[in-house]
Amino acid sequence: MRKLVGQVEADLYRPNPKYLDAFFFPNKENVKKIVKYISMAKKELKICVFNLTNDDLAAAVLDRHKAGVIVQVITDDECMNNPGSDI
């Protein structure tokens, strides 16, 4: 049992992502790269963003959800209360 708990802790505190990249925006080529990464999700997709306003990225996330992938999005809920927010 301790070994299993140790493995879960290691995975939780020191994740080993299959893909690790950095992107700068605005840049259409980087949007295409992220859409490609999102479309590769088969079991689980976890995203943490300030807000999600790009239609291509939102469509890619929704597509994965419709394909049965477990999708979790962490975002700034205060952003939704800002005047002029279109979220």
15-74 confidence digits (pLDDT tens): 677 777 788 888 899 999 999 999 999 999 998 888 888 999 999 999 999 999 999 998
Distance CA 53, CA 1 (A): 44
The predicted model scores a pTM of 0.66
pLDDT given for residue 61 in this prediction? 96
Measured from the Cβ of residue 64, the count of other Cβ atoms closer than 10 Å reads 20
Q: What is the pLDDT of residues 57-74, one digit of tens each?
A: 999 999 999 999 999 998
What pLDDT, on a 0 to 100 scale, did the predictor assign at position 87?
Answer: 42
Q: Is residue 72 part of a domain?
A: yes
Q: Is the pLDDT of residue 81 over 70?
A: no
Q: Note down the domain range covering 63.
A: 22-87
Q: Domain count of the chain?
A: 1
- Domain presence at residue 78: yes
Q: What is the CATH number of the domain that holds 76?
A: 3.30.870.10
